[in-house]
Structure 1
Amino acid sequence: MIRKHMLFLCIFAAWALMFTGCAGTTVQRLDTTEEVALTDRWNATDSRLVSEEMINDMLSFPWISRWQSSNPRNPQPTVLVMGIRNRSHEHIAVDTFVNDLRRAMIRSGKVDFVAGGDTRDAIREERLDQEFQATPETAAALAQETGANFALSGSIDSFVDQLDGRRVTSYQIDLTLIDMTTNREVWTGQKRIQKFQQRSRLRL
């Protein structure tokens, strides 16, 4: 009886090993607008939805109508993204979030956007190089940049609460728009996301 039981276990183990070895990896293309959440971590869908919602809220505040009334010849104010600080517990691709913010602003058609940071420095270096290397007819002129009227900055924070295999992760995104001339905060926005993750228990 014991031998039959051991033989059965050996056959089962060999079958399981063979099945595992034959199993392959499959790759499936997905719609980029469809959310596939494997964990409770910040993902591309969060970045896109938060940026769109917060920019729409920003553009609904009175600051833009006041600007348009005071500047009828230049109804589209220029915005510069100063930077977004990641103060969460995990690594977040902040550059992707900044790009989503830029895309939402440009798509709105209500504001113009100017480059900042490393991109601006690289353009200025190229413009200076053209001053000496390019022909006068094709060289980009110096001191002709469009100055930013408003600066957007913010931060991403997170809070984690967990107990007995259950975890709730909260993300808080704060953005502030500042008038570059007066240093006044003309808009502040806040968005919160909560995600619940529970580990399944293996029962034998």
Structure 2
Amino acid sequence: MTVTLITGANKGIGYETARQLLERGHEVYLGARDVERGEKAAAELGARSVQLDVTDDASVGRALATIEAAEGRLDLLVHNAGVLETGLDGPAALRSFDVNAVGIVRVTEAALPLLRRSAAPRVVTISSSMGSFWAVTNPDRPESAMPLALYAASKAAATMLTLQYAKAHPGITFTALEPGTTATDMTAAFGIGRPVADSARVVVRLATQDPAGPSGTLQDEAGLLPW
């Protein structure tokens, strides 16, 4: 059985990814900042819940300690927690990078000892083509017309972390992905996006593909993305 942890999984793409992975027989731990919301989502799905705030080192440590005590290893880590700040000031920048980039470091570093105990460890980071220099400078791409400075910059950092972790840990497969524009709470103000089930299928496909595949890449449902 594959032991999986998904951050920010009590709603949206994380929740739907958990549902689809449970259908594939994974033992899924839903990471959620709010204990009650996490437990409610886990009960609905038949998953397990751990309180996990990616901006809090102690919270991250407790969550991984819980998984270690129960499972002894971690096979799949999905970095799903994220924020989209539309403002542009110091506090918004700190929030953006703390969740979208520093949070990846916190959780990955805490998870590495458990991932190393897996026969086929994998880390999937939900990044964004908004963090691709190729996409945001290409007038044929919709990203070029979206002035979301902090989201784009923090997602570029998330993709770079994926690449650097892949270099540092060749025994673990690291993948960053663009899940597709999705109708979630994050995009509600824009009134755009497809159903979460469609985007979650992209996450699940990349999370369950052959571990011998490429590591340190940014991909979408069509394959490799330049960035």
State TM-score, norm by structure 2.
0.25
- Greater fraction helix: 2
- Greater fraction strand: 1
State TM-score, norm by structure 1.
0.27
